[in-house]
């Protein structure tokens, strides 16, 4: 494995979700000569018995699948209850962000707070050297000897965006055995079959893992309630109503239920969300063009950059990288795009890249629109 912190055998704690990627990652860690123990994180206080297709995770079925995979690989296996920590750091954060009119990414928060904080801290306290996961990314040593996070060998499967919150200390204790795999998902599944892993054909988990039915709006309504508010156009004219501003995100087109088309007949998109007035503003696609942003709570995968630099920026988990100029100033990250981009929502993460190397990540607090209207939402 190109991403192991040292060449010596390590005591490795393999986080096993019950899916194919984490099972193959654990098997590869064993094959590399490490002393591996499997652990499944119980993240739900009241887990369902079975998954529904590709939705959700952390069911009793997932725990059983992880245990069977550990048995096949031939490693000890445990289930650790982290439901309370997950609820506080991920689920409650998710709800609070939507309450404030922002659009969070719970996968980043889980990696930051659970897998590479709570889990890693416990692993180190128990004498383990590293935590192993099934993420597609790589850890390398840079010219200065520091650990660096890089994109996976296969760009189509790269997951470095959701790992951009990891700092150098966490990277020093992270193993990603799948990161240097230039294989299709079918080939990874074929490897799992060759290894005798029953999860070889199990569907991947999609959407927000703790919303098993995929109904994010319904989940938020149950936690935040319903309150009728206005949908207005850019001039502030009321053109419809909704049952809660938390059910929308910047750039959203579907589910607006406005009832009447725009004067020019073109689709309208969510431009702004005001939780204070419970108002959603909509307008044409070109009004979403963003030329700059300010992001807060930067986390650097190594030394913080100095001065203004040229980078690639990724704004969503499966988004394309776009060229930017960026500078860290007074605890904020200020980014200017070479050309306008659309659908940038406060609460999302901007991750900077220097080639394949992840420079760091920050939470978008505000954007500068090409039309000159600035949108800013306070970020915690």
Indicate the domain borders of the chain.
11-201, 226-286, 289-376
Residue with tokens 């550990």: 70
**Is residue 70 within 8 Å of 197, Cβ to Cβ?**
no
Question: 289-376 falls under which CATH superfamily?
Answer: Translation factors (2.40.30.10)
Fold of 11-201: Rossmann fold (3.40.50)
110: annotated active-site residue = yes
57: annotated active-site residue = no
Distance (Å, whole) CA 147 – CA 140: 6
The active-site residue out of 58, 110, 132, 301 is: 110
Cα–Cα separations (whole angstroms), residue 48 to 9, 42, 63, 268: 37, 11, 11, 38
SS3 annotation, the chain: CCCCCCCCCCEEEEECCCCHHHHHHHHHHHHCCCEEEEEEEECCCCCCCCCECCECCCCHHHHHHHHHHHHHHCCCEEEEECHHHHHHHHHHHHHHHHHCCCCCCHHHHHHHHHHHHHHHHHHHHCCCCEEECCCCEEEEECCCCCEEEEECCCHHHCCHHHHCCCCHHHHCCEECCCCCCCCCHHHHHHHHHHCCCHHHHCCCCECCCCCCCCCHHHHHHHHHCCCCEEEECCCCCEEEEECCHHHCCCCCCCCCCCCCCCCCCCCCEEEEEECCCCEEEEECHHHHCEEEEEEEEEEECCCCCCCCEEEEEECCCCCCCEEEEEEEECCEEEEEEEEEECCCCCCCEEEEEECCEEEEEEEEEEEEECCCCEEECCCC
- Fold: same for 11-201 and 226-286: no
The active-site residue out of 107, 132, 209, 301 is: 209
Q: Report pLDDT for 2.
A: 45
Q: What is the pLDDT along the chain (380 residues), one digit of tens a residue?
A: 444 444 679 999 999 999 999 999 999 999 999 999 999 999 987 665 544 554 556 678 899 999 999 999 999 999 999 999 999 999 999 999 999 989 999 999 999 999 999 999 999 999 999 999 999 999 999 888 889 999 999 888 899 999 999 999 999 999 999 998 887 788 899 999 999 999 999 887 766 888 877 888 889 999 999 899 999 999 999 999 999 998 899 999 988 888 777 778 788 999 999 998 999 999 999 999 999 999 999 999 988 888 999 999 999 988 899 999 999 998 999 999 999 999 899 999 999 999 999 999 999 999 999 875 444 444 44
Q: Report pLDDT for 211.
A: 85
Q: Report pLDDT for 46.
A: 65
So what CATH class is 226-286? mainly beta
Cα atoms in the Cβ-side hemisphere of radius 13 Å centred on 37? 15
């Amino acid at each position: 494995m190109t991403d192991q912190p040292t060449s010596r055998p390590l005591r490795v704690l393999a986080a096993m979700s019950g899916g194919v990627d984490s099972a193959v990652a654990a098997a590869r860690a064993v094959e590399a000569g490490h002393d591996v123990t499997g652990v499944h994180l119980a993240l739900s206080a009241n887990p369902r018995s079975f998954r529904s297709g590709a939705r959700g995770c952390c069911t009793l079925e997932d725990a059983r699948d992880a245990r069977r995979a550990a048995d096949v690989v031939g490693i000890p296996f445990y289930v650790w209850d982290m439901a309370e920590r997950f609820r506080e750091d991920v689920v409650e954060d998710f709800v609070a962000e939507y309450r404030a009119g922002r659009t969070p990414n719970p996968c980043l928060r889980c990696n930051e707070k659970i897998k590479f904080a709570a889990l890693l801290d416990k692993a180190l306290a128990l004498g383990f050297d590293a935590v192993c996961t099934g993420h597609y990314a790589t850890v390398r040593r840079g010219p200065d000897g520091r650990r660096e996070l890089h994109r996976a060998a296969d760009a189509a499967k790269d997951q470095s965006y959701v790992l951009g919150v990891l700092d150098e200390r966490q990277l020093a204790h992270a193993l990603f055995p799948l990161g240097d795999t230039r294989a299709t998902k079918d080939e990874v599944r074929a490897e799992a079959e060759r290894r005798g892993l029953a999860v070889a054909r199990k569907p991947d988990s999609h959407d927000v893992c703790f919303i098993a039915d995929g109904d994010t709006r319904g989940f938020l309504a149950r936690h935040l309630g319903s309150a009728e508010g206005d949908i207005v156009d850019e001039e502030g004219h009321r053109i419809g109503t909704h049952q809660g501003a938390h059910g929308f995100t910047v750039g959203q087109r579907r589910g607006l239920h406005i009832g009447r088309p725009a004067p020019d007949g073109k689709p309208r998109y969510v431009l702004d969300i005001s939780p204070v007035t419970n108002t959603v503003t909509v307008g044409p696609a070109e009004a979403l063009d963003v030329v700059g942003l300010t992001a807060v709570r930067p986390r650097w995968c190594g030394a913080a950059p100095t001065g203004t630099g040229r980078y690639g920026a990724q704004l969503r988990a499966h988004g394309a990288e776009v060229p930017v100029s960026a500078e860290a100033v007074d605890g904020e990250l200020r980014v200017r795009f070479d050309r306008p981009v659309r659908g940038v929502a406060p609460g999302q993460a901007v991750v900077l890249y220097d080639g394949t190397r992840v420079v760091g990540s920050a939470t978008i607090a505000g954007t500068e629109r090409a039309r000159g209207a600035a949108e800013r939402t306070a970020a915690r």
